[in-house]
């Protein structure tokens, strides 16, 4: 019997995760179909992708780019939409089976909620969704029986370790971190680092925002929160290990002391593909790890004094409510300001902490609270620059 192809909507198809997802789709045209492609600004690349993959629809979030996109695809039988409302509508289409959330930042929240309500399978790359509103989003996913499968490499590793484990109890999650480009820097050296230095990640080639988040280790803080909601563990059950080789993508320790880890070369196509083929595994081209060549795998404790953003994320989890939502927006503002050369590296942490102290705490946020909190955090954060 012919296997029905999975029809995939990629939100953010022009980004680092989006383009790699299209490589996975191109490698398995018998399994997958790109049903919807979306981008924020990059019309040229979106047009090239649409011509190659022939989706049913494309969306450009930035409405001012709509005429250019429509013109460029006028000879194609492809629907062309624009605006963030359109993102929420296309994911609800009956023709979509899987929504890969590969867009960056808070902008991922609303379309993900729409996809969950439409009972789609969510392949979640946009970790900010769970940082901002992890409790609400995971509750909705349960209510609507929409599975959320992780794409983030660490969470995919944990998910792979949990396959076949049923309700077996987890002692703790061992969440690995590369340590980023500044792992060996002193506090003094960190004061003067530039965006160019921060954008040179030793192991992973990713979008600019997450690369800066990796340099501050806010990314790992986000991943702690992401793990808390995806796997239902307590914050104190999550241990961060700096593992500079990025070969062990994370591990799980079970109640009998057994530790299962998932290893591989740093290549996001594997976790992307696993989220799309789960519970099956399919062939995937590319390098394999050479443990003899690697020689050794090392692990160290994160330096919380040098990377206080990691601590902030644990603090946000402890506070609960809208605290992580505030932290997320403050981080988006400071991350961008740092890339633009408007603030220094150490201001990123300082201003996020200040924003978290200034925006009023809400213990039991609703969706509307998150929207209001996000706007208030943006205002407060921008005032600090």
Considering only 37, 39, 242, 327, the residue that binds ligand NAD (CB under 6 A) is 39
Size of site (CB under 5 A) for Mg ion: 3
Binding mask 52-81 for ligand NAD (x = CB under 6 A): ---------x--------------------
In this complex, which beta carbon is closest to ligand NAD, that of residue 113 or of residue 210? 210
Q: Does 33 bind ligand NAD (CB under 6 A)?
A: no
Binding mask 1-20 for ligand NAD (x = CB under 6 A): -----------xxxxxxx--
Strand partners, 250: 262
In this complex, which beta carbon is closest to ligand NAD, that of residue 103 or of residue 359? 103
Using the contact rule CB under 5 A, the part of the chain among 30-38, 146-154, 163-171, 309-317 near Mg ion is 146-154
Using the contact rule CB under 5 A, the part of the chain among 11-19, 71-79, 151-159, 377-385 near Mg ion is 151-159
**Helix extents (H) in the chain:** 16-27, 43-53, 66-72, 84-90, 109-117, 128-143, 153-162, 187-191, 195-198, 208-216, 218-231, 269-277, 291-294, 308-319, 323-339, 345-358, 367-384
Considering only 152, 213, 226, 376, the residue that binds Mg ion (CB under 5 A) is 152
Q: Does 37 bind ligand NAD (CB under 6 A)?
A: no
Rg (CA), the chain: 20
In this complex, which beta carbon is closest to Mg ion, that of residue 152 or of residue 374? 152
Using the contact rule CB under 5 A, the part of the chain among 153-161, 187-195, 270-278, 312-320 near Mg ion is 153-161
Neighbours of 182 (CB within 10 A): 19
Element (H, E) at 238: strand 238-242
In this complex, which beta carbon is closest to Mg ion, that of residue 96 or of residue 130? 130
Closest-CA residue to 226 (of 318, 128, 337, 296): 128
Q: Does 226 bind ligand NAD (CB under 6 A)?
A: no
Cα separation, 206 vs 335, whole angstroms: 15
Q: Does 34 bind ligand NAD (CB under 6 A)?
A: no
Cα separation, 165 vs 163, whole angstroms: 6
Q: What Å distances lie between residue 140 and 70, 103, 373, CA to CA?
A: 35, 20, 20
Judged by beta carbon distances under 5 to 8 A according to partner kind, the member of ligand NAD, Mg ion, none in contact with residue 17 is ligand NAD
Q: Tally the residues of the chain.
A: 385
Q: Does 83 bind ligand NAD (CB under 6 A)?
A: no
Q: Does 113 bind ligand NAD (CB under 6 A)?
A: no
Cα separation, 72 vs 33, whole angstroms: 22
Helix (H, G, I), strand (E, B) or coil at 128: helix
Handedness of CA 119, 124, 128, 130 (dihedral sign): positive
Cα separation, 291 vs 264, whole angstroms: 10
Site for ligand NAD in 251-270 (CB under 6 A): 268
Q: Does 36 bind ligand NAD (CB under 6 A)?
A: no
Q: What is the β-pairing status of strands 121-124 and 148-150?
A: parallel
Helix (H, G, I), strand (E, B) or coil at 30: coil
Using the contact rule CB under 6 A, the part of the chain among 96-104, 256-264, 278-286, 325-333 near ligand NAD is 96-104
Q: Does 195 bind ligand NAD (CB under 6 A)?
A: no
Q: Does 204 bind ligand NAD (CB under 6 A)?
A: yes
Applying CB under 5 A, the residues found at the interface with Mg ion are 152-154
Applying CB under 6 A, the residues found at the interface with ligand NAD are 12-18, 39-42, 61, 102-104, 107, 125-128, 152, 204, 206-207, 209-210, 268
């Amino acid at each position: 019997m012919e296997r029905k192809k999975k029809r995939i909507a990629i939100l953010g198809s022009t980004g680092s995760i989006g383009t790699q997802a299209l490589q996975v789709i191109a490698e398995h045209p018998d399994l997958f179909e790109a049903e919807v492609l979306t981008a924020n600004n990059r019309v040229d690349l979106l047009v090239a992708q649409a011509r190659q993959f022939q989706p049913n629809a494309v969306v450009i979030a930035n409405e001012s780019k709509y005429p250019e996109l429509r013109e460029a695809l006028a000879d194609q039988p492809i629907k062309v939409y624009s605006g963030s409302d359109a993102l929420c509508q296309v994911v609800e289409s009956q023709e979509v089976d899987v929504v890969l959330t590969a867009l960056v930042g808070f902008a991922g929240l609303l379309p993900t909620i729409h996809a969950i309500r439409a009972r789609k399978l969510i392949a979640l790359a946009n970790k900010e969704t769970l940082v901002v509103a992890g409790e609400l989003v995971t509750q909705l996913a349960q209510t609507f029986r929409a599975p959320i499968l992780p794409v983030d490499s660490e969470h995919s590793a944990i998910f792979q370790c949990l396959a076949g484990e049923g309700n077996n109890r987890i002692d703790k999650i061992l969440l690995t971190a590369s340590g980023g480009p500044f792992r060996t820097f002193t506090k003094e050296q960190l004061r003067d680092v530039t965006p160019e230095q921060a954008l040179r990640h030793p192991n992973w080639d990713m979008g600019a925002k997450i690369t800066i988040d990796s340099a501050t280790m806010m990314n790992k803080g986000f991943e702690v929160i992401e793990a808390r909601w995806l796997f239902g563990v307590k914050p104190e059950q999550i241990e961060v290990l700096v593992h500079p080789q990025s070969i062990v993508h994370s591990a799980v320790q079970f109640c009998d002391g057994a530790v299962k880890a998932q290893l591989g070369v740093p290549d996001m196509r594997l976790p992307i593909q696993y989220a799309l083929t789960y519970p099956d595994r399919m062939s995937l081209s590319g390098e394999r790890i050479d443990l003899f060549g690697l020689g050794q795998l090392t692990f160290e404790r994160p330096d919380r004094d040098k990377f206080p953003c990691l601590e902030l994320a644990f603090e946000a989890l402890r506070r609960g409510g809208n605290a992580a939502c505030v932290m997320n927006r403050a981080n988006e503002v400071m991350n961008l300001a740092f890339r633009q050369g408007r603030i220094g590296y150490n201001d990123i942490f300082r201003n996020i902490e200040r924003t978290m102290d200034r925006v009023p705490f809400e213990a039991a946020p609703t969706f509307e609270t998150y929207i209001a909190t996000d706007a208030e955090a943006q205002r407060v954060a921008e005032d600090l620059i």
